[in-house]
């Protein structure tokens, strides 16, 4: 399975570099609802559509949704202490991937500096 970061989903929705690589992982993809909030917020803030349009675009990707758990919250908080440049969504994505022992899918090259116990697939 593949856990999608906000940046990977936005690459698909905005037709950015790495779109094909991210789309190839959609069949077994999962996303934290924390990252869903980031995707919808960015989509609306970018002027690409309203809330309904953002939700519709995201639902077309058919990613499985995972709600945050207390375990995810604790791990996300611990990540903030050690790596300050990660967003809340980044940290919840990593926590979800670790809890499931699944690969992370992102375009965020800053993640290359992280020492994680699970693989990270960079789409660009």
For residue 64, give the CATH number of its domain: 3.40.50.1010
Rounded average pLDDT over 21-46: 97
Report the greatest alpha carbon distance in the chain. Answer: 38
Determine the pLDDT at residue 14.
Answer: 97
Taking 90 as the threshold, does the pLDDT of residue 110 lie above it? no
User: For position 82, what pLDDT does the model report?
Assistant: 80
Whole-number Å distance between alpha carbons of 93 and 104: 8
Number of domains composing the chain: 1
DSSP string, 20-77: HHHHTTGGGEEEEHHHHHHHHHHHHHTTS--HHHHHHHHHHTTPEEE---HHHHHHHH
Q: What residue numbers bound the domain in which 117 lies?
A: 2-122
Angle between helices 70-82 and 88-100 (to 10 degrees): 120
Of the chain, the percentage scoring pLDDT greater than 90 comes to 90
- pLDDT category at 76 given cuts 50, 70, 90 is very high
Residue 4 has pLDDT above 80, yes or no: yes
Q: Over 90: is that where the pLDDT of 85 sits?
A: no
Rounded mean pLDDT of the chain? 95
84 pLDDT exceeds 80? Answer: no
User: Is the entire prediction scored with pTM above 0.75?
Assistant: yes
Provide the pLDDT confidence category of residue 16 given band limits of 50, 70 and 90.
very high
């Amino acid at each position: 399975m593949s856990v999608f970061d906000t940046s990977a989903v936005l690459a698909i929705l905005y037709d950015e570099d790495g779109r094909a690589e991210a789309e190839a992982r959609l069949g077994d993809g999962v996303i934290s609802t924390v990252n869903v909030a980031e995707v919808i917020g960015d989509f609306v803030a970018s002027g690409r559509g309203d809330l309904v349009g953002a939700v519709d675009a995201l639902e077309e990707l058919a990613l499985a949704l995972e709600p945050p758990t207390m375990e995810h919250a604790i791990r996300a908080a611990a990540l903030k202490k050690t790596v300050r440049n990660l967003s809340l969504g980044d940290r919840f994505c990593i926590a979800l991937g670790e809890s499931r022992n699944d690969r992370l899918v992102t375009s965020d090259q800053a993640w290359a500096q992280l020492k994680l116990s699970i693989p990270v697939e960079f789409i660009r």
